[in-house]
Chains A and B, each alone.
Chain A
């Protein structure tokens, strides 16, 4: 499913592909991703910006898709969890989550992975306090925070072979 053939409306780039979607004031980026583009990796958890399950990267920065009217991201580069791995190779963050077993039901995981990716892009060696602060808006109701923190630490290490920045 794609809006790529529509030649009017709002244009944005999602995971490297340009798409056009009809504008509507009530339409959030989350709605467009999940129901129009078939990108269901981005989850609905609350619709009010409280859970982070819908986290995506907008021009490299983490954002909550449920809180973004699609008109506001016109022209933006959107990266969803589906767009992280290139050619099937997991990113350091993704690999660290798998190796650490940082999920139980896994429903929060896409949002966590995207948020952690955004964090490490800006701050490759976050302290535990910085990890906590960055991920505080992402809920894991299964309570996996300890494992998730460990996964983020591990990903930071993996990105810095030998421990040097």
Chain B
């Protein structure tokens, strides 16, 4: 399942010492200088992505990037960009992704960075390879270079219908070209392959079950593992020992405190063995907290990329004199990612060298994590991300990789480890719970005049307002969390956008101005206006026939170079009984590379957003998740599907941005605003159908944390 292994990972080997041709065979290599692996620090100054590729005498181009495919369609989108610059059909491109031995260092697949980072790097490497092929052909055929062009995998005399195939030009060659990052790229307006609809060239593998995901890998001699987890978040192992019962046949315990695991011929048997272990835990204090009070009283003070501060004018004064004001607190719950494939890894040792296949969005960080945990040289750890059943920000880090590696080391054969669904819920991390305190004011003429916005524990994404407002105070507080929390598809943008777009609606309602008009009046950004107008037009904004219980709402958002507007239509039948009937989303993220995939991403984001908007909520008590099963944690199903209409705006004049995250951020507020339109009731918490949280002081500490039924 894997290519041979270099002496040292190529990202840690000087370019001139990389044994490209020993592993890939003869041919032409085009490489962009990779950034040297830094200690992965802040996200603000992300180093540029590296890229290299190999043109082989079989006519196949192998392009290497450190980004991972986690179900967001990057593989095909990046393949299209390479195909475009090399003037090759997509089928001739093989993308080698997220293999830490062979791929350029990368900090991780998150934040919609694959298109803006890896895209230009791969395009540059491919353009450089194309230029090199033209040089080779000119030399081989003694033709003037400027009369040649690359077309359909051949170098041809301009206008000719055939020429010399790349395969022929690189036969017997062992040449490495280093490509200048500033090399000219084919502009999106001239794209012939990228930007056009294509089917996934490997789609047949998916529908026949041939595609092997992490949990499907079966190297020879494979055994299956299980690991002991703490009974609640923060508990530490005091002591563990095997119980008196005999272990199931073929199983073994691995006790390396604080790590305890088991290995056996199937996951069930490994778990059965683990169940014999007697473990004694040190439980954390305090055992129970009011989460909101805790978050408000436990600020974190360290420097972080995840803070924003934007102040101007005198917001307090402007609030005092505004025609209408809104003062409100918005709240969002902890939410789980629930990737359909749970965390999984397979580890295999060859002497002191280790390979781990793992579903992670941060393979290079996972490599560091494993090396440190097992006291190994980073050079001896290879992390490969095969196909994985999605991530949504939930598969950062290297815990499961490390555990699999420990088990495999202890028993001397390859070991697969896969979390059960319950473990995935209990021992992953969540989208942060957050509290947003807002005070805003507007004038009679519809001008936004004051805006103060402070969030606790959400993060900085989409914190700034896209609306013109002279007097403002916008900032955020990061907190210690009583539960594990981390990245999530578009992260804080969901939360911040929900609060902001809801309050914009509240202001419009108090002024008696149409919410669309109110937004238009205060919006500066032309691209946002464009998506807003498209979504409004397509939805038929304002032209509805009134129906009891039905309502419409709109919201917009911008983040990570993407612009989105969503119109929601809902039918409210009772306090907890609501159907989203229609969602119209207009989205723009620069030039479109892979229209079909972008459409899927935007539709999928809408569906996933419905879950967080309406019903997704992790409930806990005393550091334990109370609803760690799919029967207790509801995610959107077919029957929740509204009519979804997507309008994609293509901007070939702008560089392609990522499309996996931003399209979801306007959905929740659009639905909340539609509920208000239908009922006059303003719901200020996510999930909208969840119990209304009350201020921390007037509730007992465990209210709102009741166990799930069933």
Chain A residues packing against B (C-beta within 8 Å): 26-27, 31, 34-36, 38-48, 50-51, 53, 80-82, 84-85, 90, 93-95, 97-99, 101, 103-110, 113, 131-133, 135-147, 149
- What chain B residues lie within 8 Å of A93 (beta carbons)? 207
Nearest A residue to B201 via CB reads A98
Cross-chain contact of A35 among B72, B267, B608 (Cβ < 8 A): B267
A144 to B265, CA, bound (A): 35
- What chain A residues lie within 8 Å of B630 (beta carbons)? 45-46, 48, 50-51, 139
Q: How many residues of B contact A (CB 8 A)?
A: 57
User: Is B589 an interface residue, CB under 8 A from the partner?
Assistant: no
User: With contacts defined as CB atoms under 8 Å apart, how many contacts are there between chain A and chain B in the complex?
Assistant: 180
Known A141-B338, A143-B636: A104·B73 in contact at CB below 8 Å = yes
Nearest B residue to A98 via CB reads B203
- What chain B residues lie within 8 Å of A82 (beta carbons)? 208-210
Quick check: B209 and A139 within 8 Å, CB to CB? no
Nearest A residue to B664 via CB reads A143
Quick check: B340 and A143 within 8 Å, CB to CB? no
A70 to B168, CA, bound (A): 56
- What chain A residues lie within 8 Å of B635 (beta carbons)? 139, 141
Interface locus among B132-140, B562-570, B593-601: B593-601
Cross-chain contact of A98 among B207, B224, B388 (Cβ < 8 A): B207
- What chain A residues lie within 8 Å of B420 (beta carbons)? 47
Which residues in window 194-224 of B have CB below 8 A to A?
199-200, 203-204, 206-213, 215-216, 218, 224
CB distance from B607 to the nearest CB of A (A): 3
Nearest A residue to B203 via CB reads A98
User: Is B580 an interface residue, CB under 8 A from the partner?
Assistant: no
Quick check: B204 and A90 within 8 Å, CB to CB? yes
Cross-chain contact of B340 among A53, A133, A147 (Cβ < 8 A): A53
CB distance from B220 to the nearest CB of A (A): 11
- What chain A residues lie within 8 Å of B639 (beta carbons)? 132-133, 136
Quick check: A40 and B390 within 8 Å, CB to CB? no
Quick check: B604 and A142 within 8 Å, CB to CB? yes
User: Is B641 an interface residue, CB under 8 A from the partner?
Assistant: yes
Q: Known pairs A41-B210, A141-B608, A142-B340. 18 more at Cβ < 8 A?
A: A41-B209, A48-B630, A84-B208, A90-B207, A94-B208, A104-B597, A104-B600, A105-B341, A106-B71, A110-B207, A139-B340, A140-B607, A142-B604, A143-B636, A145-B638, A145-B641, A146-B607, A147-B600
Quick check: A101 and B199 within 8 Å, CB to CB? yes
Quick check: B208 and A103 within 8 Å, CB to CB? no
Quick check: B266 and A31 within 8 Å, CB to CB? yes
Quick check: B204 and A94 within 8 Å, CB to CB? yes
A35 to B216, CA, bound (A): 9
- What chain B residues lie within 8 Å of A137 (beta carbons)? 637
Quick check: A144 and B341 within 8 Å, CB to CB? no
User: Is B448 an interface residue, CB under 8 A from the partner?
Assistant: no
User: Is B606 an interface residue, CB under 8 A from the partner?
Assistant: yes
Nearest A residue to B217 via CB reads A40
1/0 contact trace for B239-281 toward A, CB 8 Å?
A: 0000000000000000000000000011110000000000000
